Amino acid sequence: MALYNFKKIMVVPTAKDFIDITLSKTQRKTPTVIHKHYQIHRIRHFYMRKVKFTQQNYHDRLTQILTDFPKLDDIHPFYADLMNVLYDKDHYKLALGQINIAKNLIDNVAKDYVRLMKYGDSLYRCKQLKRAALGRMCTILKRQKSSLEYLEQVRQHLSRLPTIDPNTRTLLLCGYPNVGKSSFINKVTRADVDVQPYAFTTKSLFVGHMDYRYLRWQVVDTPGILDHPLEERNTIEMQAITALAHLRAAVLYVMDISEQCGHTLQEQLELFNSIRPLFANKPLIIVANKCDVKKINELSEENQACDWLLAHRVDTKMKGKKVHDVLNRLHLAMPAKRDDKERPPFIPEGALMRKKAMEVDAPKRKLEKDLEMELGDDYVLDLQKYWDLMNEDERHDKIPEVWEGHNIADYIDPDIMKKLEELENEEELKERAGEYDSDDESEDEEMQEIRVLAKQIREKKQLMVAKSKEKDVHGPRMPRTTTKVERKKLEKEMSDLGLDMNDKDESHYAQQARRSRSVAKKRKREASSAPPTSKTRSQSASRPPRDQSGLRDPKMAKKAKKMMKNSQKGMNRQGKKGESDRHVFDLKPKHLLAGKRKSGTTDRR
Amino acid sequence: MRIEKCYFCSGPVYPGHGVMFVRNDCKSFRFCRSKCHKNFKKKRNPRKTRWTKAFRKASGKELTVDNSLEFEKRRNIPVKYNRELWDKTVEAMKRVEEIKHKRQARFIMNRLKKGKQLEKEEAINEVKKNIHLIKAPHAGKAKKMEEKMVQKLQEDVDMGDEDD
């Protein structure tokens, strides 16, 4: 038998909401992007997923409703009857049945359409199928609108029913309307039932709890019952009747002896007799209420037979309940004395003193508040006066906190003087060892000279770099030998470097310069007379051939030739015409690019 | 009032300045300015960011182990106020700071000495290699040869004189 919790039934949405929720969920939780050009199985799968998802959602939700709502056969007959009284068993069962049918129909629809989707051959067809499936499911649900509304109302009412445990100790109050049942329950328990002078103030069952003899008792207040046959009773009275019929409780039949409820004692007695069959197997107490208005003594003889006073109800209660079962299992243990030593309970001194202080009104010390009252405007809160220091007069000192970016609190240490002494000793030792002597060794003259020269060298370098940047050469760089070097410039440079450039007329460069000038002049003079010597001849005479220029001796010439040959080796082996020949004969060699890759690397191609 | 330390650059955070960030594991980080804060948010390691004190200490550019640095330490057990102790502490603090600065300066100077040595060597090298840019190698050679010859002649003459 499943356990039902009437308060935890899931909210039953209205049909419209239900449809909206499920459809929007389908929209959000399934993929949304699909194109015509996708493969057909993918399109089918996409739409089938949507149909199945919707079906699943409906199914789950409806199943939950069906399981949450209690089956009338599975719950306690008291509740079954109560629900029948309140909600009509047939209607209830019908509503749940309809929901079940709807669920099955939705499942079938989904199954059918998923089967059909397999034959959809285009996006359009599949989409229409999905649309149809979803549409049908939603229509099925739309038809359940009234059932869902009814179930929602049942749920709300059900959750508000008082939790009456049919199996525990209960007292049931019954009687005519307005006899004082609700007042009684208000007095005896913490319940807060409406008490009004008009009849049928209490329209449903109310529960209160009270403690008696360390046990919890349920007190159930019912709406008043009028005296007519069972078939003519209305819903409210039927609740009371149900409670009477099913709860195993001690019944308190409340009578109003003052007849303030509007019914005579006779009528009340007749009612009592008519519902007497319901009291079978239940301890009964007749409560004479409102006896402040009319004393029991004043009652006529006929009614004295029905008198019991409230004080006696205890015994019947005890007899009627399952308390005996429990009593068998209980045993109160009392420790037996083993010797005559007194063992009183131990209470610590502090607790005793505090208790004494609480009892005796000792004069309290002067509070800050009193001080404030006294001084009025001059009052200044000075918490420093409560400080517990070694010297009392230091209490009002202003304590320094920061010095030059350092927190003084970080340096506070009781041993600081000792540490400082050690530090000072260390410092002295270091000074004596010469750690703090300045390192200004005077450098010897040589070093100073070197520094000066180094500086000059660096400056000269910078100058040279700057000059070459200034040149701003457009076009290809020609070797220096093509430009003419002026004699004056050469002599200036060399004299800057420190060489003696006086009397250099006999030097090689001066002679060469003269010779070349004289050749040119001679040629001009003999221009008309004889054919001039060829330019190349005259030039090549003055310039050494390339493979001899710059080489001092045959050894060097041999080495130069060797270097030349070496550098040409690579090119010759590869069949190149020269160093600028970069022609590739075979851009896609077959042996590298064809065939399968077996075991080998892919580093090269 | 306390002057805190910035988590990133180890600089002082005065009251009313900077930002404090408290992380989910209850560790709090103080920053002296938004530069440090932004660097922290970029997850930079202060031990690798060159301008921070943490880097300088970790890479040995500054004095780390020294007795004078043990004086300033955050203490967890408070000491009751005692005027004498406070006075003494303030005086001691000043002296300790002096010594600390001296030692730190000495440490850095020692570190830079090597540079001076290298500089010297570089100058010597430079002169050796590139002296030809300012002075031709045999600039004064001719003169020297002359002087030598003159000296030799002089000697010969002297010798001749002596013989005679």
User: Domains along chain A?
Assistant: 15-160 (1.20.120.1190), 170-316 (3.40.50.300)
Q: What does CATH list as the number for B1-62?
A: 2.30.170.20
- Whether the pLDDT of residue A304 is over 80: the answer is no
Average pLDDT of span B81-106: 94
Tell me the whole-structure pTM to 2 decimals.
0.42
* A87 vs A247, more confident: A87
| Angstrom distance (rounded) from CA A485 to CA A472 | 19
- Whether the pLDDT of residue A567 is over 50: the answer is yes
- The answer to whether A416 contacts B2, with C-beta atoms less than 8 Å apart, is no
A510-547 in b/e form (b: 16+ CB < 10 A) is eeeeeeeeeeeeeeeeeeeeeeeeeeeeeeeeeeeeee
Tokens 């004069």 found at: A363
Closest CA of chain A from B163, distance in Å: 38
The 8-class DSSP code of residue A602 comes to S
In 3-state terms, what secondary structure has residue A372? helix
Closest CA of chain A from B48, distance in Å: 26
* A244 vs A14, more confident: A14
pLDDT of residue B118: 93
For residues B72 and A420, the answer to whether their CB atoms sit within 8 Å is no
With a CB cutoff of 8 Å and minimum separation 6, the contacts of A299 are A257, A265, A307
A182-216 in b/e form (b: 16+ CB < 10 A) is bbbbbebbebebeeeeebebbebbbbbebeeeeee
| Angstrom distance (rounded) from CA A135 to CA A129 | 10
Mutate to test the interface with B, among A395, A435, A453, A490 (most CBs of B within 10 A): A453
Structure-block tokens of residue B26: 């209850």
DSSP string, A134-186: HHHHHHHHHHTHHHHHHHHHHHHHHHTS----TTS-EEEEEESTTSSHHHHHH
Mean pLDDT of chain A: 83
- Whether the pLDDT of residue A509 is over 90: the answer is no
Strands A406-407, B12-13: pairing is: unpaired
DSSP string, B55-74: HHHHTTSS--S-GGGGSS--
Confidence band of B128 (pLDDT split at 50, 70, 90)? very high
Domain locations along chain B: 1-62, 75-136
Q: pLDDT by residue (tens digit) across B94-127?
A: 999 999 999 999 999 999 988 989 999 999 999 9
With a CB cutoff of 8 Å and minimum separation 6, the contacts of A413 are A419, B71, B75, B79, B89
Structure-block tokens of residue B58: 């970790």
Q: Is the dihedral of CA A397, A401, A402, A403 positive or negative?
A: positive
Tokens 């540079």 found at: B115
pLDDT of residue A303: 39
Q: Is B71 on the interface with A (CB under 8 A)?
A: yes
With a CB cutoff of 8 Å and minimum separation 6, the contacts of A537 are none
Q: What's the angle, vertex CA A44, arms to CA A38 and CA A49, rounded to 5?
A: 120
Give the closest residue to A99 by CA, choosing from A51, A146, A153: A146
Closest CA of chain A from B131, distance in Å: 7
Q: Report ipTM (2 d.p.).
A: 0.80
In 3-state terms, what secondary structure has residue B19? strand
- The answer to whether B126 contacts A422, with C-beta atoms less than 8 Å apart, is no
Task: For residue A24, give the amino acid letter.
Answer: S
Structure-block tokens of residue A305: 């037979």
Give the closest residue to A240 by CA, choosing from A81, A389, A397: A81
pLDDT of residue B101: 95
The 8-class DSSP code of residue A577 comes to S
Helices (H), A260-415: 265-274, 313-320, 323-329, 349-359, 368-375
Confidence band of A302 (pLDDT split at 50, 70, 90)? very low
Structure-block tokens of residue B83: 């005027």
Task: For residue A603, give the amino acid letter.
Answer: D
Confidence band of A49 (pLDDT split at 50, 70, 90)? very high
Helices (H), A258-348: 265-274, 313-320, 323-329
**Phi and psi at residue A479, in whole multiples of 5°?**
-65, 160
The number of residues making up chain A comes to 605
- The answer to whether B12 contacts A494, with C-beta atoms less than 8 Å apart, is no
- Chain A hits for B3, CB-CB cut-off 8 Å, are 402, 405-407
Which among B97, B99, B127 is the nearest to A454, CB-wise? B127
- Whether the pLDDT of residue A295 is over 80: the answer is no
Task: For residue A136, give the amino acid letter.
Answer: R
- Determine whether A259 is exposed, middle or buried from the number of CB atoms within 10 Å of its CB (0-12, 13-18, 19+): middle
Average pLDDT of span A160-171: 82
Q: Is B145 on the interface with A (CB under 8 A)?
A: no
Structure-block tokens of residue A443: 């450098």
A 10 A CB-CB count for B118 gives 10
**Phi and psi at residue B7, in whole multiples of 5°?**
-65, -35
Task: For residue B78, give the amino acid letter.
Answer: P
Per 3-state DSSP, what percentage of chain B is helix, strand, and coil (rounded to 5)? 55, 5, 35
* A436 vs B94, more confident: B94
Closest CA of chain A from B142, distance in Å: 8
A12-44 in b/e form (b: 16+ CB < 10 A) is bbebeebbeebeeebeeeeeeeeeeeeeeeebb
pLDDT of residue A521: 66
B contact residues 79-138, partner A, Cβ 8 Å cutoff: 79-83, 85-86, 88-90, 92-97, 99, 102, 106, 109, 113, 120, 122-124, 126-127, 130-136, 138
DSSP string, A405-460: TEEGGGT--TTHHHHHHHHHHHHHHHHHHTTT----PPPPHHHHHHHHHHHHHHHH
Closest CA of chain B from A367, distance in Å: 25
| Angstrom distance (rounded) from CA A90 to CA A149 | 16
**Phi and psi at residue A406, in whole multiples of 5°?**
-115, 145
| Bridge partner residues of A256 (DSSP) | A289
The 8-class DSSP code of residue A284 comes to E
- Whether the pLDDT of residue A562 is over 50: the answer is yes
Give the closest residue to A32 by CA, choosing from A55, A49, A56: A49
Confidence band of A522 (pLDDT split at 50, 70, 90)? low
A 10 A CB-CB count for A505 gives 8
